[in-house]
Amino acid sequence: MKKGIGIGIEDFKQMIREDCYYFDKTNYIEELLKDRTMIRLFTRPRRFGKTLNMTTLKYFFDVRNAEENRKL
């Protein structure tokens, strides 16, 4: 099966499960952990992956489903 583009997909798990192309931006997680600011504001234009980045963080930090998320 060919990889898809994933247009309109806003959930990291769905993006991986549907075998869509994904530009790995997980390096920003390390930056978030190193930065000790109380508030982080994510500003991007519409359709620039803000929700996808937030769901990536959700699955990364979710300890309740850690084993399942580790497979992503």
Locus of tokens 């075998």: 19
Q: Which tops the pLDDT comparison, 14 or 47?
A: 14
Please state the rounded mean pLDDT for residues 12-18: 94
For 16-30, how does the pLDDT look when each residue is reduced to its tens digit (9 = 90+)?
999 999 888 888 899
Q: Can you give the pTM of this predicted structure?
A: 0.78
Tens digits of residue pLDDT in 33-71:
898 888 888 888 988 889 999 999 999 999 888 888 888
Query: In terms of Cα–Cα distance, which of 2, 35, 30, 19 is closest to 72?
Result: 19
What residue type is 17 in one-letter code?
R
